[in-house]
Structure 1
């Protein structure tokens, strides 16, 4: 090499550093690729994604070809730099070449290209695959030997290098991905995805209509009041019971009621013929399960029962859909008629209002892991039913009872104090 002009040696050294930067950035870019976006692009036939996917099927081979190339050019560059330094500065040039080349490789062949590849992995990895695939084919014998020795060492430590890494996400990881996609995903759509993931955490008893709020037809009433009640009904379906809601007989669709009104003979028996059988739901059924159960049974309304078969409430498919897309109304007064704002910033809240409804309507964080209603929360904290109006603090919320009747808190004012 002593006969080679210094200009050629410097050009060769610069070219080797460029190759080193290529291999370093390729390694970081390939490993930094978003696997889910890569799979999406692959399914859409993106050429770069297809090449990168082929290389990532065997990461040991990919790393092998990159490291073989990177080490070769770095060692070769070290030899060239030493020759140049010795010719310029003699024996002292060895130390100078070592220090200078280390600094140059760190800046221009490691830190800078790897940082660029980490920030723009697709822009680096996809073009790099054009060169890596033929290099892997050309140097396959060397890669096979190196990987064989390395994989043998890994087997000694109980590691299977051919085992595929599990890139599947669980629900919590999916929730994090959705939260982190704020710039790419509209807020409303992001909220819908989060709500779908939260369905498995909520059971039907959390969102059901309580039994005392169920509007239905008592078949023991006279026929004329029943017909008048059905004519004034604002719901699509009406439960029919005998004496008590626990004695459910059926569910009448208003479309079938219209058909009943066209009959010449209008009797209770004829009305019951238009009703369908009631559908019952265990109270601890998760919402995502119940949504599929509604679909399977071709039902839109179910009656929630406890372990003894007593009706605790009613749930509809619309209730579950509202858990996903939000309420179908926008005004707070429309969202929940049990919540009335006051001028001082507090709210009149009905004691039967559920904690979940209150938290959703007002964006509060009242404890929801215990009693389901505001009345239940107050009674649990007091450990008794108060005889007179009292005031208490639950976490960051000040609650003052307003009306106590029939052994329950009918109304209370609630204010967030911090």
Structure 2
């Protein structure tokens, strides 16, 4: 009976070590750091153990192998007499002893596989952090008790790893891909709401998107000429109720400053003629290069404390204007504002009307396309067509990519105004085509 109790104790001890090995290895550092920040001392101990796991794993292997050897020695002696006494009821031949040994061996092996290996490891995989914080103290004491053996085997292991030019310790760096994978898993299982998922995904796009994807382009800028008539100024304010207007001397490349519409409206309310004078003119214009990413532009706005910026190219020519609201819409979208001017209109489940100025990343999300070809060379859907065709496309021309057909619906001068994007039967990738 004592041997059977010994086998039970060996199985329990082996289960503890097997469970500890998997739990500490599988525990997520992000979750452990959160627990440690909340004051969980044992979570901090698990993190420390993960940073230098060599000694811990050496101890685990020493313990598990010792238990396995003891289990084999004790197990066969413990069960063989009982198995033999049962077998004598059915068989008393010359092979009785051998059969008892084989059945005892199979029984002990099965018990160890089931209760000392599979079940504890499954439990540790399901609840790695919870198990790890409960066993870490015991594991640290056992590691300390086996210090001589741990140092020897861990040292030999490190020498072998260095001989093969393999790092002795794991570098745990959380990459963007890791975070995206966690987001996908959270969205799939419902722990991350769709709005949260979209917002976090858009934040990662801040470095990949440039000002040209959110700014109002040059031809859409409404500005005042310094010599503009009072009636024209009033008419522009009525037709385009913006907070600020640029003031130029002839054209946009000769900027003088900016003016707030409320200052001009104040003149009108006083019964005066709307005009732009030096008292109303703000000559300190905030400029940003078009090569800035959205993240860099946000930082620039933070330092400048300006409501808008004039976007210029490398030749110091004005290419657009951008506001803080434009930047916020770039990664928050309809969470902060909603306008009636939809850039992407779904006609049915297989086709969309798309504005030529639509950022290519936004269209990629709608179509569930991972990435368009050479995406770093353009920002908008119109830019994608021009890049692929190597010229200004004409009406009714199209290209195919990723199972979609991109057909030009409307062209205004040299600008692609609108496209029809539709699914095609076979997913073919074609550089260009025409009807």
The question of a shared fold, defined as TM-score above 0.5 by the shorter chain, is answered with: yes
The aligned residue for residue 157 of structure 2 is 150
String of CA shifts for 1:361-387, please: whole Å, max 9, x gaps.
965769583665566666666666688
Q: How has the CA–CA distance of structure 1 residues 104 and 285 changed in structure 2, closer, same or farther, with 3 Å as cutoff?
A: same
Tell me, in whole angstroms, the C-alpha distance in 2 between the residues paired with 1:288 and 1:76: 62
Q: 2:174 aligns with which of 160, 169, 176?
A: 169
Q: How has the CA–CA distance of structure 1 residues 212 and 8 changed in structure 2, closer, same or farther, with 3 Å as cutoff?
A: same
Q: Is the 8 A contact 2:360 2:384 kept in 1?
A: no
The aligned residue for residue 340 of structure 2 is 334
String of CA shifts for 1:139-186, please: whole Å, max 9, x gaps.
33333333334334434444553x4x3222222332222222223222
Tell me, in whole angstroms, the C-alpha distance in 2 between the residues paired with 1:39 and 1:379: 48
Q: Is the 8 A contact 1:175 1:197 kept in 2?
A: no
Q: How has the CA–CA distance of structure 1 residues 346 and 73 changed in structure 2, closer, same or farther, with 3 Å as cutoff?
A: closer
Q: Is the 8 A contact 2:385 2:393 kept in 1?
A: no
The aligned residue for residue 57 of structure 2 is 63
Q: 2:253 aligns with which of 246, 251, 273?
A: 246
String of CA shifts for 1:298-356, please: whole Å, max 9, x gaps.
2231222222111111122211111221135787x7143x6677699866666x53353
Structure-to-structure mapping, 1:321-400, within 5 angstroms: 321-327=328-334, 334-336=340-342, 352-354=356-358, 356=360, 359=363, 369=375, 390=396, 392=398, 394-395=400-401, 396-397=404-405, 399=407
**SS of residue paired to 1:268:** coil
Q: Is the 8 A contact 2:29 2:47 kept in 1?
A: no
Q: Is the 8 A contact 1:242 1:248 kept in 2?
A: yes
Q: How has the CA–CA distance of structure 1 residues 32 and 344 changed in structure 2, closer, same or farther, with 3 Å as cutoff?
A: closer
**SS of residue paired to 1:249:** strand
Q: Does 1:131 align with 2:133?
A: no
Structure-to-structure mapping, 1:394-413, within 5 angstroms: 394-395=400-401, 396-397=404-405, 399=407, 401=409, 406=413
Tell me, in whole angstroms, the C-alpha distance in 1 between the residues paired with 2:54 and 2:364: 50
Q: Is the 8 A contact 1:257 1:274 kept in 2?
A: no
Q: Does 1:283 align with 2:277?
A: no
Tell me, in whole angstroms, the C-alpha distance in 1 between the residues paired with 2:349 and 2:66: 75
Q: Is the 8 A contact 1:327 1:335 kept in 2?
A: no
Shift of residue 214, structure 1, vs aligned partner:
0.7
The aligned residue for residue 198 of structure 1 is 205
**What runs of 5+ residues in structure 2 fail to find an aligned partner?**
85-95, 426-435
Shift of residue 19, structure 1, vs aligned partner:
0.8
Tell me, in whole angstroms, the C-alpha distance in 2 between the residues paired with 1:58 and 1:357: 42
The aligned residue for residue 19 of structure 1 is 13
Q: How has the CA–CA distance of structure 1 residues 334 and 176 changed in structure 2, closer, same or farther, with 3 Å as cutoff?
A: same
Larger displacement relative to structure 2 (253-262 or 123-132): 253-262
**SS of residue paired to 2:277:** helix
Shift of residue 201, structure 1, vs aligned partner:
0.9
The aligned residue for residue 3 of structure 1 is none
**SS of residue paired to 1:326:** helix
Q: Is the 8 A contact 1:26 1:124 kept in 2?
A: yes
Shift of residue 200, structure 1, vs aligned partner:
0.9
| TM-score, structure 1 normalization | 0.81
Larger displacement relative to structure 2 (191-200 or 244-253): 244-253
Question: C-alpha root-mean-square deviation of aligned residues, in Å?
Answer: 3.6
Aligned residues: 404
String of CA shifts for 1:253-290, please: whole Å, max 9, x gaps.
3455567779999863334x541422222222111111
